[in-house]
Structure 1
Amino acid sequence: MTTIAVTGHIDLTEDSIPLVRGALDELLKQYAGNGELVGVSCIAMGADTVFAEAVLAAGGRLIVVIPSRDYRQNIVEPDHAALFDRLVASAEEVLVLSHETAGRQAYEAANAVLVERADRLVAVWNGEPPTGRGGGTADTVLEAQAAGLVVDVVWPEGAARLRRRWWA
């Protein structure tokens, strides 16, 4: 069995999503159909969701890590809610962390769970360094590398992030 966790940008452009999905499908192809693939994801919009869908399409099992008790109600955007709920329903295991509210501490704890549960990490990442706020993609990559995990960076040619970062 191979357990692969994901970290990645939530703000992928609409045109980037099929590019990232194709790259993830190619990466996961080696695990497809043997029943040995387990994907671990926080299923945030963007990279986490695209990865979770690719794992399920490859015949893998999904483990969902939800950073806080209020995450679904207060963080999941209305246009992402149906997909979020479908992925939760498709998961073999759903782990809701004990944090009451979403935020830096909850996200850092969720990322620690990803690294702890994984044999390797997929990072849908443009290579930008950490922002200093913690809990981001680059932070998780560094944490995984420090733990000795293999990190597969997925950033296909033409992939881009939205210019306006609504959470900043």
Structure 2
Amino acid sequence: MTVIAVTGHMDLTEESVPLVREALVTLLNPYTEEALTGVSCIAKGADALFADTVLSLGGQLVVVVPSQDYREAKVKADYAAEFDRLHQAAAEVAVMPYAEANREAYEAANSELLRRADRLIAVWDGQPGNGRGGTADTVAEARVNGLPVEVVWPKGASRKG
């Protein structure tokens, strides 16, 4: 069994979504021969794309929710149905012991992802982090801990703004 966690950008452009999905299918497909488990916080963007790809390939999904109020406080209306679908499809849901979604909760959730994983996929443009415990910080933590990291940023991928 292989357990793969994901970190990545939430603000992928619409044009980037099929490019990233295709790259994830290519990367994850070899692991479907054994039991594939994906670990994701299922945030909008890269996390959700990864989770959906794992499920579409017949893998199991483990969801790590950063805080007890995450769904109500952070999931916007245009993403709520997809969040709920992925949450319900999960074989396991771990909610971090934080009442409110904040930097500390996100950092704890990212550490939990890495603790559970054999490797990390980062849907990442390679840019330094913005100091909020995001993708770059999670990649750095994985590398410090000796966890193999595969960066996915297909040609033509971009972020909003």
Is 1:101 equivalent to 2:108 in the alignment?
no
Counterpart Cα distance in 1 of 2:73 and 2:103: 15
Q: Which residue of 1 aligns with 2:153?
A: 155
Q: Among the aligned pairs, what percent are the same residue?
A: 61
- Which amino acid counterpart does residue 8 of structure 2 have in structure 1? G
Counterpart residue identity of residue 53, structure 2: A
Distance 2:159 2:100 in 1: 26
Q: Confirm or deny that 1:3 pairs with 2:3.
A: yes
SS at match of 2:131: coil
Matches within 5 A, 1:74-93: 74-93=73-92
State the shift of 1:130 in Å.
2.0
Partners of 2:111 and 2:31 lie apart in 1 by 24
Report the CA distance between 1:11 and its aligned residue: 0.3
Retained in 2: the 8 A contact 1:35–1:60?
A: no
1:69–1:98 contact (8 Å) kept in structure 2 = yes
- The 5 Å alignment of 1:41-60 reads 41-60=40-59
SS in 1 for 2:156: coil
Question: CA offset at residue 35 of structure 1?
Answer: 4.8
Match of 1:13 in 2: 13
> Normalising to structure 1: TM-score of the pair?
0.94
Determine the C-alpha separation between the residues in 2 that align with 1:125 and 1:95. Answer: 24
Q: Which amino acid aligns with 1:137?
A: T
Residue in 2 aligned with 1:166? none
In 2: Cα distance, 1:83 partner to 1:132 partner: 28
Q: Could you tell me how far apart the structure 2 residues matched to 1:14 and 1:50 are?
A: 12
CA distance in 1, matches of 2:14, 2:130: 23
Matched residue, 2:24: 24
Are the equivalent residues in 2 in contact too, given 1:31–1:58 (CA < 8 A)?
A: no
Displacement over 3 Å in runs of 4+: none
Tell me by how many angstroms 1:147 deviates. Answer: 0.7
SS of 1:31 mapped into structure 2: helix
1:9–1:46 contact (8 Å) kept in structure 2: yes
Conserved 8 A contact 2:129-2:137: yes
Residues in 1 aligned to 2:34 and 2:92: alpha-carbon distance in whole angstroms: 16
Rounded Cα–Cα distance in structure 1 between residues aligned with 2:34 and 2:101: 33
For 2:78 and 2:34, how far apart are their aligned partners in 1?
31
Unaligned runs of 5+ in 1: 164-168
Query: CA-atom RMSD, angstroms?
Result: 0.7
